[in-house]
Structure 1
Amino acid sequence: MRDVSQLARWLTPEVYTGLERQATLARRGRSAHGQSERHVAYRLGPPHFCRPTVHTVEATIIAHGPVTSVAVVLRLETHGAHWRASVLHVL
């Protein structure tokens, strides 16, 4: 439900552009079918981490919804003193 722009500081430009594109397509799809935006509460499972380098963390987490579950895959990389998501996939 959060606007993608609120996440911009934690995302690389490529990830931000991809999320913005997905959000736009989802809005258009809902509008074309006369559906409103809905909030789905997800319960997060335990995260699984690996650290391939000192400046990289990769994580996977399963988000369980009332009807379906999705896997979220995330790669974080250091950018100066901050971490940013350089990969984000919801499967």
Structure 2
Amino acid sequence: MATTPAGSVRVSHAPRGAELSEFFAPQRTPSTALPDPEPFLRNLTRGVLEVLAGVREVDQLARWLTEDPYRKLVTRSNLATRARSARGVPAKRPAHAILSVHESSPADGVIEAVVIVQGPARTRAVAMRLEGMDGRWRATSLALL
């Protein structure tokens, strides 16, 4: 608080400059304030596989991904769509079974995980890094191997 020359009190609550961008930026969340990551890992893996199969829109996963993995998934989805179109293969729901989920926590509010998925033709791995932001898990890195 500060006083003006007229004697009235001026209250300043708004952050300025760099403080303002930090105020509105995603806020890190500690592990204790976050839910169990395994259901999220399983659901995100299914969602990614459905996007690549062409039966789910990438936008449906946007809230769970940060910008970099979202862009990479959009690019890979577009390539998969073109490949299906060139071969004349329609999009169909994938039949995958999640065999295992391996996770570790290198820091508070961070999970690094690998989800092993068995499909009709081959077994694949989905590697992810989750970070707690704004009270929920978000994937900051995503790779389908």
Which category of TM-score, normalised to the shorter sequence, fits these structures?
A: over 0.9
1:3 counterpart residue number: 57
Aligned letter for 1:30?
A: R
Tell me which of 65, 74, 78 is aligned to 1:20: 74
Determine if the alignment matches structure 1 residue 32 to structure 2 residue 86: yes
Q: Distance in 2 between matches of 1:58 and 1:33?
A: 36
Secondary structure (helix, strand or coil) at the match of 2:75 reads helix
How many Å apart are 1:82 and its aligned residue? 1.8
Please identify which structure carries the higher helix content.
2
How many Å apart are 1:49 and its aligned residue? 0.7
1:55 counterpart residue number: 109
Structure 2 residue runs of 5 or longer lacking an equivalent are: 1-54
Moved over 2 A (4+): none
Secondary structure (helix, strand or coil) at the match of 1:52 reads strand
Deviations 1:12-45 (A, max 9, x none): 0111111011111111111122111122211101
Secondary structure (helix, strand or coil) at the match of 1:87 reads strand
Deviations 1:38-80 (A, max 9, x none): 2221110121110000021011111001221110111001222
Determine if the alignment matches structure 1 residue 65 to structure 2 residue 119: yes
Q: Distance in 2 between matches of 1:68 and 1:40?
A: 12
How many Å apart are 1:2 and its aligned residue? 1.7
Please give the TM-score of this superposition, normalised by the length of structure 2. Answer: 0.60
Aligned letter for 1:79?
A: M
RMSD over equivalenced CA pairs, Å: 1.0
Structure 1 residue runs of 5 or longer lacking an equivalent are: none
Percent identity, aligned pairs only, is: 40
Determine if the alignment matches structure 1 residue 42 to structure 2 residue 96: yes
Secondary structure (helix, strand or coil) at the match of 1:41 reads coil
